[in-house]
A and B are shown apart, each in its own frame.
Chain A
Amino acid sequence: MTCVLEGFYQTNALYQTIHSVMSGVMPCWLATIATGIMFSLFLVNIFLVSTALMTWGERRLLGRFQTRVGPNRWGPFGLLQPIADLISLLFKENLIPRGSDKLLFIIAPIIIMMPVIMVIGVIPLSPGVALADLNIGVLYILAITSVTSLGIFIAGWASDNRFAIFGAVRGVAVLISYEVPVVISLLAIVIVSGSMSLLDIVEAQAIPFLMVQPMGLLVFFIGSSAEMNRTPFDIAEAESEIIAGYHTEFSGIKFAIIQAAEYGAMIVTSAIIAVVFLGGWSGPLPEYLGWLWLLIKILVCVFVFTWVRATLPRLRIDQIMAFCWKGLLPMSLINLFAVVIETFILKGPEGQLSVADLWIMCVINTIITVCTVIVLNKLISNKVDPLRSGSRIVSQEELLLDGQGD
């Protein structure tokens, strides 16, 4: 009896290699399950280790941005700092507030963590190497990452703490608002590439979609930065206003899981940007080094996220909302319309776009991006002039006279 894999696993080279070895020593059904578990463990462990390293890397980078050194005491270059942090958090008392909803309080960190881990399943590491090459990969990513907002709200609600509920409400408001432009910017990508599968999207990038849709990248970068609650948009956990936001009451390992989810979200978002906008594994090196290119692109994205965090101060909630609805949403819609019209005109008989078409779109979309940024800036920053709008400066006496007249 031959042992054949079915479905999207057939395209996964690494998966098939492991499976052919395993099927030699155990029955076919067991080999399939064991291979899946092995591959998942492999991915999840890589993800968790990189998340731990990310906490170190971000602190080192932030330190250098502020002309400090950052953590460097424990291990070479402070590389063992995540272990020290984890041990420190593991030994902390595991507090559950008296008035809290205990079940929800315990599962909230898991709900925040799970979507982040689940997303890495569809990210292609190399040609044909992804845990699951879903044909609805983009939709899957959008659906799964939205669960994080549920986790944040559960965490804030179950804590029985006013700061936690403030943070949760703010976080959910930001997440729901910024989901819209992010979805629309990814929709434009799907229209150009003609597929929702991330593998197909990477293969469709004859030139990176960064150049084809600069405005899409801008919207996606800012929007995903807001969805991750990172610093220009971190009102959900604004330390100076509401102690730690939705994770105020979480301590010990629960806090560690929430922190890991936040840093993991940054890695996952960087990976999505690298795959969707920067061309994934494609690069001048030979094909078997594709993972190295992906890694470099992810690290560049992480660097830019940290750079933005080190630079920009926190926005107010009304500024964030105005920026989303007045700035990013029109930008993403203009981008979508431009891409739709260009694709409709330029597409070949099979609905495919050639490299020349992509270059034409690149030029047009760059011009559109510059024009849109300038026009939106004019519109948003157009302050109301009190003298021209008919209002005038009123003295104290006039106010009193008005009051007497009534």
Chain B
Amino acid sequence: MYGIEMVKGLLVTLKNFSKKPVTIQYPEQRVSQHPRFRGEEFTWYEERCTGCASCAKYCPLGIIEIVTDPSETAVKQGDKYKLEKFDIQLFRCMFCGLCVEACPYDALFMGSGFEEGKYTRNDMIITIDDLRNSPKNPSTWYRPQLEAKQYDPRSGQQLSWKEVGRESWNWHKTEKAGMRITPDSNQE
């Protein structure tokens, strides 16, 4: 009536005009990810992994392929199987995080990245060497022990395999099973 509503509408847009734009200029500015972000670049600790393939079993898409080799390992002395293959077909991954939930030894973690664009699908397959060499910045998703430490994966601080386990599970100090015997792990 009397054009008052129109003036009100004009004032709403004028109020918006005086506001700061909400746009984040992506390549220069970034939204900081939540520590629990389920992203790319899975963090994997070879020392903790037994090759049990729980992650591969629980994956709804069946995109994790694990091949283990019992030869050349002292299984009877408590040594674990040697891992030959740990492929994650990232181009089909939906980042549900069930593999991380399923891991009984806290060996697999989600990552915080989201910029893994590649030109071919084969480049999107994460091999075991990629997992070995990737920076150890685990996401705290489904890992309350990391949240208890108030660990932030975006801070750049890297965690070693001894720091990421659950405190109540002291199995790795007493048992050899599941532990890959390396010079580093023998020092404890």
Q: Give the interface of A toward B (CB within 8 A).
A: 61, 63-69, 307-308, 310-312, 373-374, 377, 381
Q: Mind listing 19 A-B residue pairs with CB under 8 Å? A: A61-B17, A64-B16, A65-B13, A65-B16, A67-B16, A67-B19, A67-B20, A67-B21, A67-B22, A68-B21, A307-B10, A307-B13, A310-B13, A311-B9, A311-B10, A373-B2, A374-B2, A377-B1, A377-B3
> Once bound together, how far apart are the Cα atoms of A302 and B10, in whole Å?
15
Q: Is the CB of A64 within 8 A of B9?
A: no
| B23 lies within 8 A of chain A by Cβ | yes
A320 to chain B, nearest CB (A): 15
- A-side contacts of B10, CB under 8 Å: 307-308, 311
When the two chains form the complex, which single residue of B1, B14, B19 contacts A381, counting CB atoms closer than 8 Å? B1
**Contacts of B1-50 to chain A: CB distance below 8 A:** 1-3, 6, 9-10, 12-14, 16-17, 19-23, 25
Given contacts A373-B2, A381-B1, A68 and B23 within 8 Å (CB-CB): yes
Q: Is the CB of A311 within 8 A of B23?
A: no
- A-side contacts of B13, CB under 8 Å: 65, 307, 310-311
Give how many B residues have a beta carbon under 8 Å from the other chain's beta carbons. Answer: 17
- B-side contacts of A373, CB under 8 Å: 2-3
> Once bound together, how far apart are the Cα atoms of A61 and B18, in whole Å?
11
For the A-B complex, the count of residue pairs with Cβ-Cβ distances under 8 Å equals 41
Q: A69-B21, A377-B1 given. 20 additional CB < 8 A pairs?
A: A63-B21, A64-B21, A65-B13, A67-B16, A67-B20, A67-B22, A67-B23, A68-B23, A69-B23, A69-B25, A307-B10, A307-B17, A311-B9, A311-B10, A311-B13, A312-B9, A373-B2, A373-B3, A374-B2, A377-B2
- B-side contacts of A61, CB under 8 Å: 17
Residue of B nearest to A313 (CB): B9
> Once bound together, how far apart are the Cα atoms of A374 and B3, in whole Å?
9
A378 to chain B, nearest CB (A): 9
B157 to chain A, nearest CB (A): 34
B88 to chain A, nearest CB (A): 35
> Once bound together, how far apart are the Cα atoms of A68 and B19, in whole Å?
10
Residue of B nearest to A310 (CB): B13
- A-side contacts of B2, CB under 8 Å: 373-374, 377
Q: Which are the 8 A-B pairs with shortest beta-carbon distances?
A: A311-B13, A69-B23, A69-B21, A65-B13, A311-B9, A377-B2, A310-B13, A65-B17
- A-side contacts of B19, CB under 8 Å: 67
Residue of B nearest to A370 (CB): B2
Residue of A nearest to B7 (CB): A311
Q: Is the CB of A64 within 8 A of B23?
A: no
Q: Is the CB of B6 within 8 A of A64?
A: no
- A-side contacts of B12, CB under 8 Å: 311
- A-side contacts of B20, CB under 8 Å: 67
Q: Is the CB of A307 within 8 A of B23?
A: no
Residue of A nearest to B10 (CB): A311
B5 to chain A, nearest CB (A): 11
Given contacts A373-B2, A377-B1, A377-B3, A66 and B9 within 8 Å (CB-CB): no
A405 to chain B, nearest CB (A): 44
A344 to chain B, nearest CB (A): 30
Residue of A nearest to B24 (CB): A69
Contact with A along B103-143 (1 / 0, CB 8 A): 00000000000000000000000000000000000000000
Q: Which of B2, B13, B20, B21 has the most CB of A within 10 A?
A: B13
